[in-house]
DNA sequence: CCATTACGCTACGACTCGTAGCGAAACCGC
DNA sequence: GCGGTTTCGCTACGAGTCGTAGCGTAATGG
């Protein structure tokens, strides 16, 4: 979404909002049927019922389009309040895993992340529209656990550093399980993962 | 490497082994300079000094070629014996992070994993030549730690299940840190990660 | 020496890309 | 209503890549 500042807004025919929605939906549909590599902008345009040139007027290319299409999948992500830190983690990880289980997320997410390695602007777009919203859940969850007394209090500076680490552990582990090991992150697995994350390897069973 | 079973081996001109090495090296070179998306087989062939048709005789396509080229990067991965579990983990994670820091690994690994989502044969190829070797390090490291008495003994069945989880946590976290968060997995970070992995979130500082 | 396989080279149709140009449509302020 | 402005749909285009076929040559083994 390239937000058009009201200052820049001039008179003229406005862009169709329904076209935006149709294009993004068509992109996800094409991701499911064709996957990333065989997805073409011409095909998406046909599916959405718009001209190919309209796509190029709004997005720089395939990468940016897919980022926006996939980002909408993560809109539903919420931090539940289940009473304990363990339950909160299990709840949010299960939501995350459910999104990653959808074929349009699998096909699109890894591909755009791979592309972002040589494209800083794309990485920033992914960070702003996908990653940061996930990281906020970790931040909020940790703050809530400290308020409950489940975690030892730390100074804010130390906490910020740790949140980055925890975030990489949670998101990275679930992504690896789902996309590399290609096995489902179901309730049994999430429980074992949460226990390991909270208690560590050295804890006795 | 499509191993030719000696039974199938017939007479005729043998395939050039030096050509194989030149092609894989050229592939990594192209990955560094062009990245995954702009890498073409015609370009690789030119760099390697072979004909484009030779490439297609040995590999089914871009995906399989890059898997083999990237797999060689992980040959150097070894499990050190540093005396303690914590030191062993830090050592192997630092090696893994060093490989992932190389641009040819960054550009190629995520891309082929993304492709493998819609291609089971490719996923199997990645598993056999890249993932399984990494997982073996976790398996050996855990066995050694139990022999030292650093981990509580578990029955072999339970251990196998846990190794999968630990592997996803270690590999997933390092990959996410390096490729998604795009920050270096240096010694300071690895120490903090190891501590969290061993002691868990609830441990007091 | 002969069968067999790999190699280098060229050429090819099919496809996708991203852009340009055009007329028509939709919205603004006057 | 009436210009000015922007978007839209459509068509067409050169450029680039793909994967394959065909051919003559080079390197093995029996």
Which among A114, A152, A167 is the nearest to B114, CB-wise? A114
Percent of residues, chain A, with pLDDT higher than 70: 94
Determine, for residues A198 and B200 on separate chains, whether the beta-carbon distance falls below 8 Å.
Answer: yes
**pLDDT, tens only, B97-128:** 999 999 999 999 999 999 999 999 999 999 99
Q: What average pLDDT does the segment A100-124 reach?
A: 96
Question: CA A169 to CA B145: how far, in whole Å?
Answer: 22
Q: What average pLDDT does the segment A88-103 reach?
A: 97
Q: Which chain A residues contact residue B203 at CB under 8 A?
A: 200
Report angle CA A105, A110, A113 to the nearest 5 degrees: 120
> For B202 and C26, how far is CA from C1' in angstroms?
61
Alpha carbon of B14: minimum distance to chain A alpha carbons (Å): 34
Most B CBs within 10 A among A31, A165, A201, hence the mutation to make, goes to: A201
For A142, the closest chain B residue by CA position comes to: B201
Q: Which chain B residues contact residue A33 at CB under 8 A?
A: none
Helices A41-48 and A17-34: crossing angle in degrees, nearest 10, is 120
What chain B holds in terms of domains, given with CATH numbers, is 17-58 (1.10.10.60), 71-199 (1.10.357.10)
Question: CA B77 to CA B99: how far, in whole Å?
Answer: 9
Q: Which two tokens stand for residue B36?
A: 């995954």
CA B96 to chain centre: 8
Judge if the beta carbon of B18 is closer than 7 A to nucleic acid strand D. Answer: no
Helix residue ranges per DSSP H, chain B: 17-34, 41-48, 52-58, 62-71, 85-101, 103-116, 120-126, 132-148, 156-175, 187-199
Asked whether the beta carbons of B73 and B134 are under 8 A apart, the reply is no
A73: helix, strand or coil = helix
Tell me the torsion sign for CA atoms A167, A171, A174, A176.
Answer: negative
Find and give the residue nearest to D30, measured CA to C1'. Answer: B11
Question: CA A122 to CA A65: how far, in whole Å?
Answer: 11
Neighbours of B98 (CB within 10 A): 13
Q: Which chain A residues contact residue B135 at CB under 8 A?
A: none
Alpha carbon of B7: minimum distance to chain A alpha carbons (Å): 33
pLDDT at residue B167 in the model: 98
Question: CA B131 to CA B129: how far, in whole Å?
Answer: 7
**pLDDT, tens only, B30-71:** 999 999 999 999 999 999 999 999 999 999 999 999 999 999
**pLDDT, tens only, A120-176:** 999 999 999 999 999 999 999 999 999 999 998 888 888 888 999 999 999 999 999
pLDDT at residue B9 in the model: 55
pLDDT at residue B44 in the model: 97
Percent of residues, chain A, with pLDDT higher than 90: 87
A201's CB contacts (< 8 A; 6+ apart) are B85, B151, B166, B197, B198
Determine, for residues B113 and A165 on separate chains, whether the beta-carbon distance falls below 8 Å.
Answer: no
> For A46 and C16, how far is CA from C1' in angstroms?
15
Asked whether the beta carbons of A61 and A40 are under 8 A apart, the reply is no
For B181, the closest chain A residue by CA position comes to: A168
Q: Which chain B residues contact residue A166 at CB under 8 A?
A: 196, 201
Which among A154, A168, A173 is the nearest to B168, CB-wise? A173
């Amino acid at each position: 979404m390239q937000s058009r500042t009201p200052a820049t807004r001039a008179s003229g025919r406005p862009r169709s909002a329904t076209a935006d929605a149709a294009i993004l939906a068509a992109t996800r549909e094409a991701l499911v049927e064709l996957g990333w590599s065989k997805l073409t902008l011409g095909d998406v345009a046909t599916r959405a019922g718009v001209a190919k040139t309209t796509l190029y007027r709004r997005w720089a290319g395939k990468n940016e389009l897919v980022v926006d299409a996939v980002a909408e999948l993560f809109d539903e992500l919420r931090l539940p309040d289940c009473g304990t830190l363990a339950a909160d983690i299990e709840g949010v990880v299960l939501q995350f895993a459910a999104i990653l289980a959808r074929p349009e997320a699998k096909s699109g997410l890894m591909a755009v992340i791979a592309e972002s390695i040589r494209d800083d602007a794309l990485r920033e777009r992914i960070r702003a529209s996908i990653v940061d919203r996930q990281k906020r859940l970790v931040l909020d969850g940790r703050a809530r656990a400290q308020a409950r007394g489940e975690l030892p209090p730390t100074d804010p500076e130390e906490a910020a550093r740790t949140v980055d680490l925890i975030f990489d552990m949670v998101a990275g582990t679930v992504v690896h399980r789902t996309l590399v090991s290609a096995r489902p992150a179901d309730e049994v697995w999430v429980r074992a993962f949460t226990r390991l994350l909270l208690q560590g390897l050295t804890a006795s069973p």
